[in-house]
């Protein structure tokens, strides 16, 4: 993908935590458009 030509950037936040056995990842993505193509 040509990232320079693809200017859309959704808002993304993430947090990491662990308990010495597991890694927990919480992420939140806010997009303007919810379309998806496969």
Beta bridge partners of 15: 26
CB 27 within 8 A of CB 16: no
pTM over 0.85: no
Instruction: Give the residue from 29, 38, 32, 28 showing the smallest Cα distance to 8.
Output: 32
For 1-38, the pLDDT digits (tens) are 777 888 878 899 999 999 999 999 999 988 877 666 55
- State residue 4's pLDDT score: 82
């Amino acid at each position: 993908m040509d990232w320079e030509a693809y200017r859309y950037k959704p808002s993304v936040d993430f947090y990491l935590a662990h308990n010495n056995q597991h890694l927990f990842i919480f992420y939140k993505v806010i997009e303007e458009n919810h379309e998806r193509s496969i």
